[in-house]
Amino acid sequence: MSSIIQAGFLQTHPEFGAVAANRTQAKFLWGERTADLLVLPELFNTGYQFRSLAEAQNLSEPIPDGPTTEFLIDWARASGMVIVAGLAEREGDTLYNSAVIVGPRGYIGKFRKAHIFDTEIQFFQPGNLPFTVFDAGFAKIGIMICFDWRFPETARTLALQGADVIAHPANLVLPDCPQAMITRCLENRVFAVTADRVGTEQRLPEESLKFIGQSQAVDPDGTVLVRASEDREEAQGVALDLDKARNKKINGHNDLFADRREDLYRIGGKG
Ligand code: ACM
């Protein structure tokens, strides 16, 4: 079986709160392209800047039994793609900034953002699910969400569990992530597909958020295979040869994982 897959991302410009319209626009933007794996941004259906907890509660949904997950499953069934997309999850009274992974056979799983960024803590609880690699058949797919990039343990955990590709829904406001993901890929020999959004939200008087775009796919050598613009909606696809991620050898003598010195590392505790 070929180890080459087709991956894609959508770089969107959602209208805050227009959940059904944002879903439809994402599907329209992708059009009739084909891919094995498609990654959508964080909170792709709602937008980012909630004004109140009540607003976040109203716009959040259970996963998997909510309308956005159902929409994504229908899309995956019709297109044959595995889709990873970010949305606000409601479980009882608790909200999480989550991502769902679905495929032609339905719901596969979800991940809850572990590292909550800045004022998100007013709405979302930090994720309580372990970093997990999902078996999509054609690839092992790990998920992390936006600011999780700032913690190298996230990508490392996924890579050590056998991830070929890290799907990374994002709403980036800091400038460093696109470059940092090159290092995350290089230090783990994994692919990463970051799907970001563009546009500005100013729903609070003193906080204007500009999202930096630059969605990208990076290979296990740290090569940026494709990077999107800073300011436009885009749909991009790229071929990934997964054998590159499965071979952790750096040269004849060094293997990125076999050479790890767990006997010398002390990273278990806080501080
Ligand atoms: C972010 O984590 N959305 C910046």
Compute the mean pLDDT over every residue in the chain, rounded to the nearest whole number: 97
27 is catalytic: no
Q: Sorting pLDDT into bands at 50, 70 and 90, what band is 241?
A: very high
Please tell me the predicted confidence (pLDDT) of residue 251: 97
Average pLDDT over residues 229-239: 98
Please tell me the predicted confidence (pLDDT) of residue 195: 99
Q: Sorting pLDDT into bands at 50, 70 and 90, what band is 270?
A: confident
Q: Are 145 and 170 in contact (CB under 8 A)?
A: yes
113 is catalytic: yes
How far is ligand 1, taken at its centre, from the CA of residue 196, in Å? 10
Ligand 1 atom 3: residue of nearest CA: 171
43 CA closest ligand 1 atom index: 3
Q: Sorting pLDDT into bands at 50, 70 and 90, what band is 222?
A: very high
Render pLDDT for 137-171 as a digit per residue (tens, 0 to 9).
Answer: 999 999 999 999 999 999 999 999 999 999 999 99
Please tell me the predicted confidence (pLDDT) of residue 88: 98
Ligand 1 site residues, Cβ closer than 6 angstroms: 42, 117, 146-147, 171-173
Please tell me the predicted confidence (pLDDT) of residue 268: 80
42 is catalytic: yes
Q: What percent of the chain has pLDDT over 90?
A: 96
Instruction: Among 117, 177, 207, name the best residue to mutate to test ligand 1's pocket (greatest count of ligand atoms within 8 A of Cβ).
Output: 117
Is residue 271 pLDDT above 70, yes or no?
Answer: no
Q: Sorting pLDDT into bands at 50, 70 and 90, what band is 1?
A: low
Please tell me the predicted confidence (pLDDT) of residue 61: 98
Instruction: Name the phi and psi angles at 21, rounded to 5.
Output: -65, -40
Burial of 104 (0-12, 13-18, 19+ CB in 10 A): middle
Average pLDDT over residues 226-234: 98
Catalytic residue among 61, 89, 113, 234: 113
Query: What's this model's pTM, rounded to 2 decimal places?
Result: 0.98
**89: three-class secondary structure by DSSP:** strand
Q: Please report the domains of the chain, with CATH numbers, ordered by start residue.
A: 4-246 (3.60.110.10)
What are residue 61's DSSP bridge partners?
89
Ligand 1 atom 2: residue of nearest CA: 147
Angstrom distance (rounded) from CA 57 to CA 124 = 10
What are residue 236's DSSP bridge partners?
9
Cβ neighbors of 240 (< 8 A, separation 6 or more) are 4, 5, 6, 7, 164, 165, 191, 217, 219, 225
Is residue 266 pLDDT above 90, yes or no?
Answer: no
Ligand 1 atom 4: residue of nearest CA: 172
Render pLDDT for 74-130 as a digit per residue (tens, 0 to 9).
Answer: 999 999 999 999 999 999 999 999 999 999 999 999 999 999 999 999 999 999 999
How far is ligand 1, taken at its centre, from the CA of residue 171, in Å? 5
